[in-house]
Structure 1
């Protein structure tokens, strides 16, 4: 299969989509490199699915252009774009057997009958569904149905694969297994460019080479998972990618101050009012650098960790701690700390506009 997949990428050139004057995707400039997995991550209504549908050809931009492999496809109908697509509802035909579902796109493309059987078998083998070709969708689990949907998309040998919340209908165990399978498929099909829409940060961090963070119809940040996690570009990215404590601080001649406390930060310091970002799992309990004290307002046991919600001068600080033998109780006064190397200063209200 590898040798037959065209070497392609995706480019959004100032793409805007509007419905009845309401802008749902605003001037998106973004490039997905050939062979790259790009996750579009954001809350509901952020514009991520609209961006994917613009690539597929299901919505037409009010302005801007969409390119595939350097070719302007803005005015092409979906069936001429050579794209594979998988949606969260699977969209399998219930009256067709698995092998017939997988063959559907090939027949629509008028692939010679003698070639279809081999390409269906190849796609089912890649997705671990070779033994299920004669079954109907109703005879499969949710995870198996999703594998069939992916096999159907791969059977046409697309240069671009679009995945729209493909795991959202699965339970946690199946989702974990499918994440591993998608990662394996990416390794086996390195030429395929994948645009992956999700609101689940774990999926994005696990699969993506880069993540584009969307909010309120606009791109807010784009980078590798490590870049966005370790050095977020703005408050929204910090809170949405991995979760974060965002503490208001002031910056002046006396350094960085949170209330009356002076804090040490090893990274660059903005010259104006700022927000301090520190990840919950990097906050420790007890004495240490950058000590802050407060009152426990809630404690949650999460198996491997305890999550503490601590009120510090009217601000909530979250600490994810490895399972404690004697965790503090609600109302206890505790001291927290974090390393200067684990604190990132963001300019207050900074946006990727």
Structure 2
């Protein structure tokens, strides 16, 4: 951190970590490594296990089996205050009766930091998040975004090697959320030694901030990779539908190389080593679907049109299947019931064989 010692460089490792409540498994055999200095997003719906994983690192839940490591230390049995981590939660958890500077100093005092160092480290942390001018205010005198900055400053003041963020932006409106995402990205650039484990159900947050994304569902890790890998080449239907938006079309691999059958239509797509006759799912992102004649053309009836400002989203019924297309600058808005032809390039499609789902990290 500027003006003081840098955080200790450390990562996180989950070694077959499982958590259960009353026989109900809420985290099942998680194997995952967050490298030193990496931003890892845990992305998934409610109940997927992502917050439980974060709480296992924080020390708020004890695994039924498996081990949790921070750096080289096995912290599975350590209490939270001995783990040397910073944590930011969605409710901010600021003390309303304490001024900003005293909220930020709280963790340092709990760690029995040198009293002479505390004012400087508080000032350093507030400066880092752009809140130095608000040091003497109370939380009630701050906006939601400002309170979140204070919560982050409090977590950073102890100079953690690991920073845990649990849905930190969910209480903010869309404009503030966008600004805080930019701030978190800036903070990570200024604190490259700090590992961030970021829990969210918001794919935009994960895609914007993370170096890698771990996709969780039903207590298990479903996939892990860079945002680009998961978006452009998902390995499972769940990943394709949860990271970004996708058309998922049921197909059968045809005898002709590089060809699949979709509702009687022959489509040219990369099939790799998938054998003929195998049923699979074809993933095509809506923004890669064009209107009019072209490769892999499919004609159907317009079932719905949504204007989204910079784009129109068309829903076209093709032989009982609804295909989405995000189109820019339509001069004339198509009418419901009109016939429309959609197309997509072979290289923009990803074939997902049935049962695909091995994780990557």
State how far apart, in whole Å, the 1-side matches of 2:85 and 2:119 are: 20
State how far apart, in whole Å, the 1-side matches of 2:322 and 2:223 are: 25
**1:44-63 → structure 2 map (5 Å cutoff):** 44-63=46-65
Matched residue, 1:260: 264
Matched residue, 2:41: 39
Q: Confirm whether residue 244 of structure 1 aligns to residue 263 of structure 2.
A: no
State how far apart, in whole Å, the 2-side matches of 1:223 and 1:134 are: 43
After superposition, the C-alpha distances for 1:241-277 in whole angstroms (9 at most, x for unaligned) are 0110000001121431111111111362522211100
State how far apart, in whole Å, the 1-side matches of 2:329 and 2:221 are: 37
Q: Confirm whether residue 270 of structure 1 aligns to residue 279 of structure 2.
A: no
Matched residue of 1:4: which SS?
A: coil
Matched residue, 2:324: 318
Matched residue of 1:128: which SS?
A: coil
Q: Confirm whether residue 96 of structure 1 aligns to residue 102 of structure 2.
A: no
Considering only aligned residues, what root-mean-square deviation do their CA atoms show, in Å? 1.0
Matched residue, 1:350: 356
Matched residue, 2:80: 78
Structure 2 unpaired stretches of 5+? none
Shift of 1:297: 1.1
State how far apart, in whole Å, the 2-side matches of 1:327 and 1:345 are: 32
In the alignment, is the contact (CA less than 8 A) between 1:303 and 1:323 conserved in 2? Answer: no
Matched residue, 2:229: 227
In the alignment, is the contact (CA less than 8 A) between 1:235 and 1:349 conserved in 2? Answer: no
In the alignment, is the contact (CA less than 8 A) between 1:209 and 1:225 conserved in 2? Answer: yes
State how far apart, in whole Å, the 1-side matches of 2:201 and 2:273 are: 31
After superposition, the C-alpha distances for 1:120-169 in whole angstroms (9 at most, x for unaligned) are 00000000001000111111100000000000000000000000000001
Deviation larger for 319-328 or 259-268: 259-268
State how far apart, in whole Å, the 1-side matches of 2:76 and 2:284 are: 42
Matched residue, 2:315: 309
State how far apart, in whole Å, the 1-side matches of 2:299 and 2:358 are: 33
Q: Confirm whether residue 286 of structure 1 aligns to residue 288 of structure 2.
A: no
State how far apart, in whole Å, the 1-side matches of 2:84 and 2:283 are: 43
In the alignment, is the contact (CA less than 8 A) between 2:6 and 2:193 conserved in 1? Answer: no
- TM-score for the superposition, normalised by structure 1: 0.98
Matched residue of 1:154: which SS?
A: helix
Shift of 1:4: 3.0
Matched residue, 1:68: 70
In the alignment, is the contact (CA less than 8 A) between 1:25 and 1:51 conserved in 2? Answer: yes
Matched residue, 1:4: 6
Matched residue of 1:54: which SS?
A: helix
Structure 1 unpaired stretches of 5+? none
After superposition, the C-alpha distances for 1:193-237 in whole angstroms (9 at most, x for unaligned) are 000000000000000000000000000000000111111011000
- TM-score for the superposition, normalised by structure 2: 0.96
